[in-house]
A and B are shown apart, each in its own frame.
Chain A
Amino acid sequence: MAERILEVDNLCTQFKTERGLLKAIDGVSFEVYRGEMLGIVGESGCGKSVTSQSILRLYDEKNLAVYSGQVRFEGQNLFDLSQKEMQKIRGARISMVFQDALSSLNPVFTVGNQIMEALMIHQNISKKDAREKAVKMLGMVGIPDPEGRFFQYPFELSGGMRQRVMIAVALACRPDILIADEPTTALDVTIQAQIMDLMVEMNRKLDMGVMLITHDLAVVAETCHRVLVMYLGQIVEEGLVEDIFDRPLHPYTKGLIASIPKLDSQKGEKLHQIKGTVPVLGKVPEGCRFAPRCPYAGAECRTKAPELKKVNESQKVRCHLADRRADRG
């Protein structure tokens, strides 16, 4: 079994708001293994991004966020570290790629400069070496004419190129973990495929754990090894990609999979959708959080909150009905 590099244990993230503390993440636990690609899926507002940004402690802890639980990296709980120690981990050991590269790259610095900066913060190298390495990084992420592109500004590059630059920034220091927060959402389909290919290639080449956050199940099915399905700040199902797609146990997962448009469906046929919308954080339903939208919900579902339970070697699910099904068979 591959080395376990990141353990998230009962992570809770609460935000201070005018109406008091709101729990955006409620007891999320999972692991990331070296060399794997872990997909995290769910609708908007389910806490995927908050989870990833909580791992790096990117939220303002003075005014905005309260974390609890543990995020263990190399046996160390990241929440025990000072901000200074945290800065040494960010970008060097755990890196992040964001959704929109145009707004995530600093508009007034050249792309080369932004890659160099990552190198010079974390590695004790000269400017000249950093420049050489940065050019190499640009080449590695598939940017043609890296020497020329080095001096360009983000706004002078195409969307796909910018995303590649952002990946180059994130990978410059060869991190152990790359968190990619919807890296392809802002791109058109052909570029999406290229960027995903690049992510898979880098995952193999650098032997790092990749957390791919997305709402695109097709991308997950094609690239990931394992997948976490999140709903309203909790993990509702976890398992190997094959298992989840072949035998989804949670009604929410089933709904998500059924919602993928199929090419062989009839024209005019309505696309599948999950009834209702994600409730706001202040109004988390009692019992199972998905119960109000679940077509199978029974009396128990509305009163008692289900636990995330292991149903087989690799699959976990948070559903009363799945339990029963597992008991029976």
Chain B
Amino acid sequence: MIKFIGKRILSVLPVLLVVSVVIFSLVHLVPGDPAAAMLGDLATEQDIAALRARMGLDRPLAQQYFIWVGNLLRGDFGVSVVNNETVASMIFSHIKPTISLAIYSLCIAACIAVPMGMVAARNKGSAADHGVTAVSLAGISLPSFLLGLFLMLLFGVKLRWFPVSGYKGLEEGLGAHLKSLTLPAVALGFMNAALMMRMTRASMLEVLGSDYIKMARAKGVREFSLMAKHAFKNTLVTLITVFGQSVIQALSGAAVVESMFAIPGLGQLMVNSIGRRDYYVIQTIVLLIAVFNVLVNMVVDILYGCVDPRVRVN
């Protein structure tokens, strides 16, 4: 098992290398000069040359790359050209709401979707099954911004159960924190929940039709343990895959929801930075999301090995 995990971790390194090269190249592939683009049409030659020197753009490409990677490894992501704040501190202050929102929405999604998917599969063709199928279809078809607007209207404006928008940090108390995040978490989590429901139902149906479930039943396994132990562990590989995708989506795809509900998260920071052409910030966020993708997939791979002994072998 340790060997398996070691192998998985090692296999990530070349991917990270490629990711860093691609992101670094992005800047240099963009037509025109990043410094000129940043300063706008009215900048003088001297200004551009000065900024180029400050950004190190006048050095050879390979050298620039190594300097950049070296800085990254030391936690130095550069300084924002807009407000002179370090990129690290900007990201640090914006990542907390995003992580909170992601965890909250994933909890909602997983807690609702997995049991419902299992119930639907267990009672295939029943009213519950049709209900789950309909809800999941709605979830997949309904874009999160539309659902967000509905939620705002119903729970924020009409019922006044939750604030329409705005964010309260953890330091203002867990209750207030969760309350401010509930609507966006539902808006964000509903699509993931729908996807998880579908996948849980589908893979559960497949597992329930298998011989080992029949065998387990024939040896007297109780109905609950049949579902919760024998069938569930076999659907885990599918569930982990979907969950991994949802994690990535919740962390990197929350820009719309964050903007709608005025949550100062990573998505909002990225949207704003693109508007301000704050080049280092964009680059770092893209890098962060890419690295995050790679890491989540690595964890998913390792978890496969934990739940399915057949994966560990090769």
Contact = CB atoms under 8 A, between A and B. Distances in A.
Question: Are both chains from one complex?
Answer: yes
Interface of A: 53, 56, 58, 63, 83, 87-92, 95-96, 98, 100, 103-109, 117-118, 121-122, 153, 155, 166, 169-170
A166 B219 CA distance: 10
B221 A108 contact: no
Given A106-B230, A108-B307, A155-B310, A87 B222 contact: yes
A91 B219 contact: yes
Give 10 nearest A-B pairs by CB, closest first: A91-B219, A91-B220, A90-B220, A103-B211, A96-B218, A104-B215, A104-B211, A106-B212, A153-B309, A118-B219
Contacts of A105: 212, 215
7 contacts: A87-B222, A87-B223, A98-B215, A106-B212, A107-B212, A107-B310, A121-B220
Contact of B219 (A63, A95, A109): A95
A98 B214 contact: yes
B89 interface: no
Nearest to B230: A106
B218 A58 contact: yes
A56 B230 CA distance: 19
A95 B218 contact: yes
Contacts of B223: 83, 87
Contacts of A98: 211, 214-215, 218
Nearest to B218: A96
Contacts of A63: 124-125
**Chain B, interface residues (CB within 8 Å), range:** 20 to 34
Contacts of B44: none
Contacts of B222: 87, 121
Interface in B216-262: 216-223, 230, 233-234
A108 B216 CA distance: 13
A117 B216 CA distance: 9
A90 B217 contact: yes
B219 A117 contact: yes
B220 A100 contact: no
Interface in B178-227: 210-212, 214-223
A90 B211 contact: no
A227 to B, nearest CB: 23
A63 B309 CA distance: 34
B233 A104 contact: no
Contact of B220 (A53, A103, A108, A118): A118
B215 A122 contact: no
Given A98-B211, A103-B211, A108-B233, A170 B216 contact: no
B218 A153 contact: no
Contacts of B212: 103-107
A104 B219 contact: no
B33 interface: no
A41 B248 CA distance: 56
Given A105-B212, A122-B220, 17 more contacts: A90-B219, A90-B220, A91-B221, A92-B220, A95-B218, A96-B215, A96-B218, A98-B211, A100-B211, A104-B211, A104-B212, A106-B212, A106-B233, A108-B308, A118-B220, A121-B221, A153-B310
Contacts of A106: 212, 215-216, 230, 233-234
Contacts of B211: 98, 100, 103-104
